[in-house]
Chains A and B, each alone.
Chain A
Amino acid sequence: MTESRPLNVVIVEDEAILAMELENMLEDAGHVTVGWATCLSEAEELLREVSADLALVDIHLSDGITGIEVADLFRRHTGAPVVFMTANPKLLPEDFAGAVGVIAKPYTSIGVMAMIDYLQQAISAPPPSVSQPNGLTLAPDYRERWSA
């Protein structure tokens, strides 16, 4: 995995501590956090400024349950895969609103790292060779596409 290109990641999370630690974890794994948004409008702004390979999106943001809308924006404007990170996965529609999958909070650092490794492989050379990490639940269409 060290040979793979580092990912440019956008974090959409209204809790500063969580965003900070996610940034640390991504950095440890050799990736780059290119932006942080806490609400829909900040996410819209971010979209115009940066290009991302992956977006980690909380559903409950500072302006309400706008994460699903944020994910939709990213998908349409950048085509970058979105992973939801939420304490309430039940809020998601059945098709995960076009996202790759969801990580349920509270996640563990191990869970997040495993998810990043998996996604990096899945994005750069699908289907991924490492097995799907515990904490990650894939959206139905990705489950089909990536099941080795």
Chain B
Amino acid sequence: MPIRCEIVSQDRIVYQGPADIVVLPGADGMMGILPNHSPVLATLQFGVITVRHRGKEQYFTVAGGVVEVQPDQVTVLADAAENVEEINLQRAEEAKRRAEEMMSKTPPTDADEYLRLQAALRRSNLWVEAARRYRQRRSKS
């Protein structure tokens, strides 16, 4: 029996459908959710969510958030989630380069600004890596 899996970000539903296993980047490490998992509320960190259904895998990048697990349902409340297929690699690389440039050229003195820039850098890094990893897998199969 598959689990219902929903990934929602603030402005849209990113994914909705059945899954045999969902692998999430939990705050304390990766967690794999199978059907009939006991109820869990957990925070997420930057990372990739893997949704597998009937041998097919889909990947989603997520920049933190909260997940609610129930025996028959996984709900991810994500900050900025994307399907890896939707990522524009060129744009992601550009964003990464820009963030790196800003980090090295004009290191922000303000702590808030620094954190924000670091978050942007991490996010773009995540996009680039996820897109690369996904593409490799597709070319093999």
A binds B: no
> Which residues from chain B sit less than 8 Å from chain A, CB to CB?
none
